[in-house]
Amino acid sequence: MQYKKILVTGAAGFIGFHVCKLLLERGLSVVGLDNINSYYAVQLKYARLEELGVARDDAQQWGRQSISTVNSSFSFVRMNIEDREQLPVFFASEKFDAVIHLAAQAGVRHSMTHPEAYVDSNVVGFLNILEGCRKERVAHLLYASSSSVYGENSKIPFAEDDCVDYPVSVYAATKKANELMAHSYSHLFQLPTTGLRFFTVYGPWGRPDMAPMLFASAIAAEREIKLFNHGEMSRDFTYVDDICQGVYVALQHPNRAEKPYQVFNVGNGKPVQLTDFVAALERATGKTARQKMLPMQLGEVPRTWADISKLQALGYESKTNLQEGVKKFVAWFQTCRFDIT
Ligand code: NAD
pLDDT in tens, 250-268: 999 999 899 999 999 999 9
- Strand-strand pairing, 66-67 and 29-34: unpaired
In a domain, 337, yes or no: no
Q: Give tens-digit pLDDT for 282-328.
A: 999 999 999 999 999 888 899 999 999 999 999 999 999 999 999 99
Q: Does some domain include residue 213?
A: no
Q: Which residues line ligand 1 (CB under 6 A)?
A: 10, 12-16, 34-37, 45, 80-82, 102-106, 121, 125, 144, 146, 198, 200-201, 207
Q: Measuring CA to CA, which residue among 290, 284, 302, 295 is closest to residue 225?
A: 290
End-to-end CA distance of the chain: 42
Q: How many domains does the chain have?
A: 1
Query: Residue 325: inside a domain, yes or no?
Result: no
Of the residues 110, 143, 200, 201, which should be mutated to test ligand 1's pocket, given the most ligand atoms within 8 Å of the CB?
A: 201
| Per-residue pLDDT at 92 exceeds 80 | yes
Q: How confident is the prediction for the chain on average, in pLDDT?
A: 96
Residue 202 CA to residue 243 CA, distance in Å, equals: 9
Catalytic residues: 171
pLDDT exceeds 80 at position 1: no
Structural domain including 170 reads 5-199+239-268+305-318
Query: Quick check: is 340 in a domain?
Result: no
Mutate to test the pocket of ligand 1, among 108, 146, 237, 277 (most ligand atoms within 8 A of CB): 146
Q: Is residue 219 part of a domain?
A: no
29 part of a folded domain: yes
At CB < 8 A and 24+ separation, what contacts does 26-29 make? 26/248, 27/73, 28/3, 28/4, 28/73, 29/4, 29/5, 29/73, 29/74
Identify the residue whose C-alpha is closest to ligand 1 atom 3: 13
pLDDT digits (tens, 9 = 90+) for 132-142: 999 999 999 99
Q: Residue 340: is its pLDDT beyond 90?
A: no
pLDDT tens track for 272-286: 999 999 999 999 999
Question: What does the pLDDT read at residue 82?
Answer: 98
Q: Is the dihedral of CA 134, 140, 144, 145 positive or negative?
A: positive
Residue 128 lies in a domain: yes
Q: What is the CATH number of the domain that holds 55?
A: 3.40.50.720
Whether residue 96 is contained in a domain is answered as: yes
CA–centroid distance, residue 287 to ligand 1 (Å): 31
pLDDT digits (tens, 9 = 90+) for 18-62: 999 999 999 999 999 999 999 999 999 999 999 999 999 999 999
Per-residue pLDDT, averaged over 100-122, amounts to 97
